Chain A
Amino acid sequence: MVWRQERLSVEGVDGIDQTGRGIEALLETLAESEQSVKVADWLAKLGTFNYRPQDAVPQCSPNLYEFFGLDPADPSPKYMEALAMLSPANQVAVAAILTPAGGRETFTLRLEISRPDGPHRICWAEGRSEFNAAGELIAVTGVCQDVTEREAVAAQLQQAQKMEAVGQLTGGLAHDFNNLLAVIVGNLDIIEEVLADDPVTKEFASTALAAALRGAELTKQLLAFSRRQPLNPQQLDLNALLAGMESMWSRTLGEAITLRLHQAPDLWATLADGSQVESAVLNLAINGRDAMPEGGLLTVETCNVQLDETSAELGQHVPAGDYAMIAVSDSGHGIPAEMLASVFEPFFTTKDVGKGSGLGLSMVYGFAKQSGGHVQIYSEVGVGTTVKLFLPRAKQETGAAGLMADSSPTPQSRNETVLVVEDNPDVRKLAVRQLTELGYCVLEAETGPLALAVLGRRPEIDLLFTDMVMPGGLSGNELAALAVKLKPNLKVLYTTGFAEAATGSGSFEVRGKLITKPYRKSDFAVKLREVFDA
């Protein structure tokens, strides 16, 4: 909106004299006010639209162009292409808004925008269609807000609440089932005893008893998920525990699977129930085996992980602190992103019917939470899956080492520019924030091809910080190879959610420095300096 001085009437306006000196002040106030509205719109990700049939094109604010990936400076923006980005249901709803009706019709729409150059966006549009007496459209006006991030956070919260509710439900169910099973098992035990001289009939009782005991195993797993199993936490050396499982590996994994163990020599002791840790690792190993029916590589890694407030965000409500971590990685078929959110729910399974109870990961999740830790899954279709089990460091252990690590100063930027390439918007946002706080100039891109476009335009980029596996046709390795051709002195730092030990071979081989998610800002700062100063 541009106000022109000659349009303002100075007659009769308080505070404005005949020379028009007050008009300048008024215009200044107006400009400030307009700027405030623009900033508010930008912060709220709010766009406005106004369409009248007699106008050639709709009037839209810059934010709205941005939602659809259009350039506001483009003299002829592709409105029809923008409409085509909406879901089919949205397109029908938009057509209905323009359909002749009568009077004034208000509307609220949830728009799903699939931009070919970027991620899916969700917007809420609220507006009004005006029609004349003949039912012809006069104007459509309204606002549109990008709520993609807000919906993602709400979905995360909803998921956490669902897990809690399912936990309550399964815990209650398990209790009632255990009472019933107590009755069944107790009586079948008596029947078996009574039938000691009748082996044929006794066999029926034995079969029923075996089924009841299997039911008891299932309720035990349900209790584990609902975090109501009796635990016996003790100070534990996870490396020793893994060493004790040696005979189990070959028996469980079979010959087609190669096992690689990577154990941190200075691993912190943790406080956990040893038999439950064993059971969790066994569960994860079996999942890994089942994901590789043709064989493959199973990597079991232990390491110390320090999480701060920012890295904890990545792990969904993991308290900041010191953890001993076990990661089990497979090189199997991977789990599609849309299924990942559900894998910890009881009875959810990606295995064929009859091949898994859907309680293995639920049990691991419940055990980790009950132990004050966390479990995190990272998977890419066609690459593999890593499940990380974080267990809290034993208290008597936290002493000099932790303090020493915290007391060293965090290395800051020397005015370098970093390009962050990451398809997950939350993870990208976090990396951008950490880098900005460390003093780096930061640019970002969602995919490899977009990153190359940014690199072509911005010669000041010193370092490429890229995810290993991304949609868009370029892996981290491929992107780095092309980027270095564009800019030979470019430094590269890779990142991945997979365990570090699982990234050593094939197309997944890391050809440079790597930092695994989640990471602390201070560790990120050190790693960046290592790459810059190499």
Chain B
Amino acid sequence: MARILVADDEPLVRQTMRSVLQRAGHEIFEAQDGDEALAGYRTLDPDLVLIDVIMPNREGVETIAALRKVNRRIPIVAMSGGGKTGSMLFLDLAVRMGANCALTKPVRNAELLQVINECLAEARVVEPECGEAEVSS
């Protein structure tokens, strides 16, 4: 079981991710934009962040970069439906900014769970860093 922060501006997507991940035994927290995701990271201390790359207030890519700046270990999974302002191309950028992997929507539940489990397993074999820096918003 892991604590997962789901950041997506579409409530139905958040609700679906919650259903899928809760069924797999994870604890879910939600954020509806980049700012909320950063605030959520500070207060909730999640094990993994699942994040949409196009969001209001703070783009996912920018949020990933900010998260990675303060925590080099936390697994981040980026996702996008493509389209608007070329967000499919942003997936590539998201990985370069530090996301562990990127998924295109729609994604099958089995694939999503497999990716999340792999990322969590990878993170577990590495000792957590001491004295993580504060997130700047």
Task: Give the docked Cα–Cα distance between A171 and B80 (Å).
Answer: 12
Contact A183 B13 (CB under 8 A): yes
Interface: B83 (CB within 8 A): yes
Type the 1/0 row for B72-104, where 1 means its CB is closer than 8 Å to any CB of A: 000000001111101111011000000000001
Cβ of B86: which chain A residues have Cβ within 8 Å of it? Answer: 171, 228
Task: Give the docked Cα–Cα distance between A175 and B87 (Å).
Answer: 8
Interface stretch (choices A102-110, A123-131, A185-193, A412-420): A185-193
Cβ of A173: which chain B residues have Cβ within 8 Å of it? Answer: 83
A171-B86, A174-B82, A228-B87 in contact; A182/B19 too (CB < 8 A)? no
Which residue of chain A has its CB nearest to the CB of B9? A179
Contact B16 A187 (CB under 8 A): yes
Looking at the assembled complex, report how far the CB atom of A166 sits from the nearest CB atom of chain B, in whole angstroms: 13
A189-B110, A190-B23, A223-B83 in contact; A183/B12 too (CB < 8 A)? yes
Type the 1/0 row for B21-62, where 1 means its CB is closer than 8 Å to any CB of A: 001000000000000000000000000000000100000000
Task: Give the docked Cα–Cα distance between A193 and B110 (Å).
Answer: 11
A171-B86, A175-B87, A230-B89 in contact; A186/B109 too (CB < 8 A)? yes
A172-B83, A173-B83, A223-B82 in contact; A178/B92 too (CB < 8 A)? no
Looking at the assembled complex, report how far the CB atom of A14 sits from the nearest CB atom of chain B, in whole angstroms: 70
Type the 1/0 row for A421-450, where 1 means its CB is closer than 8 Å to any CB of B: 000000000000000000000000000000
A174-B83, A175-B81, A179-B10 in contact; A185/B107 too (CB < 8 A)? yes
Contact B16 A228 (CB under 8 A): no
Interface: B20 (CB within 8 A): yes
Cβ of A189: which chain B residues have Cβ within 8 Å of it? Answer: 20, 108-110
Which residue of chain B has its CB nearest to the CB of A188? B109
Contact B81 A182 (CB under 8 A): yes
Tell me which of B54, B83, B92, B107 contacts A182 (CB under 8 A).
B107
Which residue of chain A has its CB nearest to the CB of B82? A223
Interface size of A as a range: 20 to 34
Interface: B124 (CB within 8 A): no
Cβ of B81: which chain A residues have Cβ within 8 Å of it? Answer: 174-179, 181-182, 219
Contact B19 A186 (CB under 8 A): yes
Task: Give the docked Cα–Cα distance between A147 and B27 (Å).
Answer: 69
Interface: A229 (CB within 8 A): yes
Type the 1/0 row for A145-175, where 1 means its CB is closer than 8 Å to any CB of B: 0000000000000000000000000011111
Interface: B106 (CB within 8 A): yes
Contact A190 B109 (CB under 8 A): yes
Task: Give the docked Cα–Cα distance between A223 and B88 (Å).
Answer: 9
Contact B84 A179 (CB under 8 A): no
Task: Give the docked Cα–Cα distance between A219 and B107 (Å).
Answer: 13
Looking at the assembled complex, report how far the CB atom of B20 sits from the nearest CB atom of chain A, in whole angstroms: 5
Which residue of chain B has its CB nearest to the CB of A194? B23
Which residue of chain A has its CB nearest to the CB of B15? A183
Interface: A216 (CB within 8 A): yes
Looking at the assembled complex, report how far the CB atom of B119 sits from the nearest CB atom of chain A, in whole angstroms: 18
Looking at the assembled complex, report how far the CB atom of B110 sits from the nearest CB atom of chain A, in whole angstroms: 7
Contact A216 B106 (CB under 8 A): yes
Contact B83 A190 (CB under 8 A): no
Cβ of A212: which chain B residues have Cβ within 8 Å of it? Answer: 106
Cβ of B80: which chain A residues have Cβ within 8 Å of it? Answer: 175
Tell me which of A172, A179, A193 contacts B105 (CB under 8 A).
A179
Looking at the assembled complex, report how far the CB atom of A290 sits from the nearest CB atom of chain B, in whole angstroms: 28
Type the 1/0 row for A11-53, where 1 means its CB is closer than 8 Å to any CB of B: 0000000000000000000000000000000000000000000
Within 8 A of B (CB), among A178-220: 178-187, 189-190, 193, 212-213, 216, 219
What are 28 A-B pairs at a CB distance below 8 A?
A171-B84, A171-B86, A172-B83, A172-B84, A174-B82, A175-B83, A177-B81, A178-B82, A178-B104, A179-B12, A179-B105, A181-B81, A182-B16, A182-B81, A183-B13, A185-B107, A185-B108, A185-B109, A186-B19, A186-B109, A189-B109, A190-B19, A190-B109, A223-B82, A223-B88, A228-B86, A229-B82, A230-B89
Chain A residues in contact with chain B, CB under 8 A? 171-187, 189-190, 193, 212-213, 216, 219, 223, 226, 228-230
11 further interface pairs, Cβ-Cβ under 8 Å (given A185-B108, A190-B19, A219-B81):
A171-B83, A174-B83, A175-B82, A175-B83, A178-B81, A178-B82, A185-B109, A189-B108, A228-B86, A230-B89, A230-B92
